[in-house]
């Protein structure tokens, strides 16, 4: 089980319940912005916890098998049959429900660190939701929450709630990348804040931002981002395209087949061709085999934010650079491969 998150003086804490984010608001405007942030954070948390994860499945599958190993013999003993009827249906439902519940609790536990860091980035105490606005910074760089005593490095506050409307937290990517089978995931920035990383085609980057970068720079970034894993993508696409052509050649074997069966075969071949064609296209255009850390490394090498492609500010004393546009934090010098997507 992952350890509880700690504040910046090493004291463990539980992140405040999202419903309590507006708890200490002292004006209507404060309350509104806290509620807005609460909705965004809830959406972000739900998205991360819903994303399928192999590591979570390693826990949920044995549990489900264990429950089934007890439930079905019990059914056999109680009802004389272990399949059929309402009891076994109930057993299946309970097992699936349990799997879902365990999966969600694991992902929420893993997300605590990211949720806490995101709350502090917005200028709230992650432990009690008290506003960190205008508080004194101690010599060690920390702000101490007057309400609960938790300590937070002041430099964490990169999206303060008191500066007006913030760019949305990890907005949903536009339709185009999703049509191209690209769904950039939510990742943790260098200080743990949940952000959506850019996609390798820069389609999730706002058009005016792409314009500001200039077509030359955009092309260079795309090439650098997509340089990794290219061979695997093209090989897979070639295999799928070959399979598609093979399915198409089946059409020549339909001589002498009687009519209803012939039409069924033609429809089947057509559907198979389309499916394999799409899969081949998806393999070429998708992001298969591009490591998560490659995005951060490539963007920061260009002095750009790996989330929104905005310009990064100068490096601070801890070696962090903050995005001027969205407040995401990135390491100025990137260490060797250490991908850490949330909830993975």
Residues that bind Zn ion (CB under 5 A): 125, 127-128, 130, 145, 147-148, 150, 305, 307-308, 310, 323, 325-326, 328
- Least distance in Å: CB of 314 to Zn ion? 15
Give me 97's structure tokens. 């429900």
Evaluate whether 99 touches 63 at the Cβ level (below 8 Å). yes
**Closer residue to Zn ion, CB minimum distance, 56 or 321:** 321
State which residue, 99 or 202, has the beta carbon closest to Zn ion: 202
Between residues 53 and 329, which has the closer beta carbon with respect to Zn ion?
329
Token couple for 289:
């085999």
In which residue are the tokens 């907005």 written?
171
Q: Name the residue nearer to Zn ion (CB basis): 43 or 147.
A: 147
**CB of 229: closest distance to Zn ion in angstroms?**
24
CB of 171 to Zn ion, least distance (A): 12
Residue 137: CB minimum distance to Zn ion, A: 16
CA–CA gap between residue 127 and residue 120 (Å, rounded)? 9
CA distance 136 to 108: 32
User: And the tokens for 222?
Assistant: 């795309």
Beta bridge partners of 49: none
Which of 213, 219, 191 is CA-nearest to residue 308?
213
Beta-carbon contacts of residue 295 (< 8 Å; ≥ 6 apart): 197, 198, 200, 225, 306
Which of residues 122 and 233 has its CB atom nearest to Zn ion in the complex? 122
Distance from C-alpha of 162 to C-alpha of 344, rounded to nearest angstrom: 33
Q: How far is the CB of 228 from Zn ion (least distance, A)?
A: 22
């Amino acid at each position: 089980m992952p350890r509880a998150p700690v504040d910046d003086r090493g004291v463990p804490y539980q992140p405040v319940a999202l419903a309590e984010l507006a708890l200490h608001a002292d004006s209507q405007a404060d309350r509104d912005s806290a509620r807005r942030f609460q909705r965004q954070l809830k959406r972000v948390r739900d998205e991360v916890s819903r994303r399928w994860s192999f590591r979570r499945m390693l826990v949920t599958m044995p549990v489900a098998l264990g429950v089934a190993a007890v439930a079905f013999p019990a059914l056999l003993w109680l009802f004389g049959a272990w399949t059929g009827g309402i009891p076994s249906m109930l057993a299946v439902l309970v097992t699936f429900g349990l799997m879902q519940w365990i999966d969600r609790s694991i992902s929420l536990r893993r997300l605590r660190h990211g949720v806490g860091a995101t709350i502090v980035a917005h200028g709230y105490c992650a432990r009690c939701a008290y506003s960190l606005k205008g508080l004194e910074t101690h010599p060690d760089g920390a702000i101490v929450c007057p309400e609960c005593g938790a300590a937070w490095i002041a430099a964490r506050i990169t999206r303060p709630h008191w500066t007006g409307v913030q760019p949305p937290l990890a907005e949903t990517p536009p339709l185009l990348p999703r049509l191209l089978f690209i769904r950039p995931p939510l990742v943790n920035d260098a200080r743990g804040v949940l952000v959506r990383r850019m996609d390798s085609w820069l389609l999730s980057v706002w058009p005016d931002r792409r314009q500001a970068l200039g077509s030359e720079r955009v092309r260079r970034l795309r090439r650098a981002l997509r340089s990794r894993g290219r061979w695997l993508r093209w090989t897979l696409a070639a295999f799928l395209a070959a399979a598609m052509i093979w399915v198409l050649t089946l059409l020549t074997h339909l001589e002498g087949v009687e009519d209803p069966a012939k039409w069924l075969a033609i429809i089947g071949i057509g559907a198979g061709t389309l499916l394999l064609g799409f899969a081949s296209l998806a393999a070429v255009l998708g992001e298969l085999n591009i490591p998560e850390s490659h995005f951060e490394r490539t963007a920061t090498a260009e002095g750009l934010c790996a989330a929104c492609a905005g310009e990064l500010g100068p490096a601070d004393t801890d070696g962090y650079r903050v995005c001027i546009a969205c407040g995401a934090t990135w390491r100025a010098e990137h260490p060797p491969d250490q991908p850490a997507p949330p909830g993975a």
